[in-house]
Amino acid sequence: MTTDAPEVVGEIAALRERLGAARAAGARIALVPTMGALHDGHLALVDRARELADVVVVSIFVNPLQFGAGEDLDRYPRTLDADVAALASRGVDLVFAPTAREMYPRGDVSTRITAGPIGDRYEGSSRPGHFDGMLTVVAKLLHIAMPDVALFGRKDAQQVFLVERMVADLDVPTVIEVVETVREDDGLALSSRNRFLDEPHRRAALALSEALRAASDAAAEGLAEALAEAAAAFGDHDDAELDYFVIVDPATLLPVADDFRGEALALVAARVGGTRLIDNAPLTL
């Protein structure tokens, strides 16, 4: 596998030119959208992209549209040089690293994708407008790159649901490939925000994966027992403040009924110190 650094382009026109030439030559193109601060979870997406396509593009853009007032836009890590170095051994061809002015040359964006009612739940309830901003930039990236396949991580389950629905609703000719969550040995889901955790908060962050595991273990007893065991897991970590723990139908992302039986998905979010973390896991009620 090549260890050459990928070409970094910051202009939409330059990316389109390079991908247009590749497409004309019959190449299959994969896009991995990221906000940078890459970790092994992102690299798992890149590795899968390399299996699926001839040309792999990784976008690195901290999208201001998906950050609300008081959120960590300025604090979000920006590590472009380290990210490009990490991608050098993964066979990535292009890194698209635009500025906010390149992506939004008029400043305020008057036309946005609306996430709909599901976008107002869970993460959307805690972060109003977040998913409208996320879908808007994903739609722009898909339009700019016109990839055959785009890859997303299952850790952001609500994001994946909304992106898949947008692609279906708007007949976008891109296949969405979902890659399983990558975890530390102790179960903590990898996240760019984990770097903000000191050692005590790193231990407290295990509340998320422990709650998911407790709910899964109790799921055979039904919804009420699964939710109770998840709440009890958070009781063991004083520094983890639970935002929500909900069990939903994967087909609709709506909360399941009390008597639901079958495959479900548990979603959890919590604030650990000053860092907000999310996770999810399938279970069978």
**Catalytic residue IDs:** 42
121-to-127, 185, 198, 245, 266 alpha-carbon distances in Å: 9, 31, 30, 12, 14
* DSSP sequence for 211-232: HHHHHHHHGGG-HHHHHHHHHH
Q: Is 147 exposed, middle or buried, given 0-12, 13-18 or 19+ CB atoms closer than 10 A?
A: buried
Specify the amino acid at residue 265: L
Cα(96)–Cα(7) distance, integer angstroms: 9
- Tokens representing 9 are 């382009």
